[in-house]
Amino acid sequence: MFKRFIPAIVAVTTMMTACNGGKDTSQQDLSSNPFINPSETYMHTPDFSKIKVEHFRPAFEEGMRIHTEEIEAISNNPEAPTFENTLVALEKSGQVLSRVSSVFFALSSADTNDDLIAIEEEIAPKLAEHSDAMYLNDKLFGRIKVIYEGDQSTLDTEDKRLIKFYYDQFVQKGALLNPEQKETLKKINQEEASLLTDFGNKLTKATNALLFIKDKEQLQGLSEEELNAAAAKATDAKHPGEYAFSLDNTTQQSIMAKLDVRETRKFFFEASINRCMKGDEFDTQAIVKRLAELRAEKAALLGFNSYAAWKLQDQLAATPEKVTEFLSNLAKLAMPRALAEEKELEDFARQTEGANFDLEAWDWSYFAEKLRREKYGIDEATIRRYFVLDNVLYNGVFYSANQLYGISFKPRTDVSVYHEDVRVWDVLDKEGNVFALFYFDPYARASKSGGAWMSNFVDQSYLLERKPVIYNVCNYTKPAQGEPCLLSWDEVTTLFHEFGHALHGLFASQKYPSLSGTSVPRDFVEMPSQFNEHWAAEPSVFANYAKHYKTGEAMPKELVEKLQKAQTFNQSYPMIENVAACLLDQAWHSLTVENAKVTDVKAFQEEQLSKVGLLNKCIPPRYGSSYFRHIWSNGYSAGYYAYLWSEALDNDIYAWFEKNGGLTFENGSRLRSMILSKGNTEDLMSLFTEFTGHKEVDLKPLLKARGLL
With CA atoms as reference, report the closest residue to 674 among 462, 528, 499: 528
Cα-Cα-Cα-Cα torsion 478, 480, 483, 485, nearest 10 degrees, comes to -10
Give the separation between CA 142 and CA 167, rounded to whole angstroms: 10
Q: CB count, 10 Å around CB of 494? A: 22
**All residues at 6 or more sequence positions from 682 whose CB lies less than 8 Å from its CB, including other chains:** 157, 161
What are the backbone angles phi and psi of residue 205, rounded to the nearest 5°?
Answer: -65, -40
With CA atoms as reference, report the closest residue to 21 among 120, 125, 134: 125
Give the separation between CA 552 and CA 242, rounded to whole angstroms: 34
The question of whether 498 is a catalytic residue gets the answer yes
Give the separation between CA 288 and CA 285, rounded to whole angstroms: 5
CB 86 within 8 A of CB 152: no
Pairing of strands 434-443, 469-476: parallel
- Measuring CA to CA, how many Å separate 414 from each of 3, 168, 417, 506? 26, 42, 9, 20
**All residues at 6 or more sequence positions from 350 whose CB lies less than 8 Å from its CB, including other chains:** 356, 357
CB 667 within 8 A of CB 660: yes
With CA atoms as reference, report the closest residue to 597 among 214, 273, 294, 223: 294
Q: Please provide the size of the chain in residues.
A: 709
CA dihedral for 195, 199, 202, 205, sign (positive or negative):
negative
What are the backbone angles phi and psi of residue 324, rounded to the nearest 5°?
Answer: -65, -40
CA angle 271, 273, 278 (to 5 degrees): 65
Pairing of strands 453-458, 434-443: unpaired
- In three-state secondary structure terms, 24 is coil
Give the orientation angle of helix 179-208 with respect to helix 285-301, to 10 degrees: 150
CA angle 297, 301, 302 (to 5 degrees): 120
Q: Which amino acid is at 153?
A: S
Question: In the 3-class helix/strand/coil scheme, how is 620-685 assigned residue by residue?
Answer: CCCCCHHHCHHHHHCCCCCCCCHHHHHHHHHHHHHHHHHHCCCCCHHHHHHHHHHHHCCCCCCCHH
Q: Which amino acid is at 403?
A: Q
- Measuring CA to CA, how many Å separate 611 from each of 119, 134, 251, 335, 608? 42, 41, 21, 14, 5
Pairing of strands 211-213, 469-476: unpaired
Give the separation between CA 105 and CA 102, rounded to whole angstroms: 6
| Residue tagged active-site, from 498, 526, 577, 647 | 498
Active site residues: 498
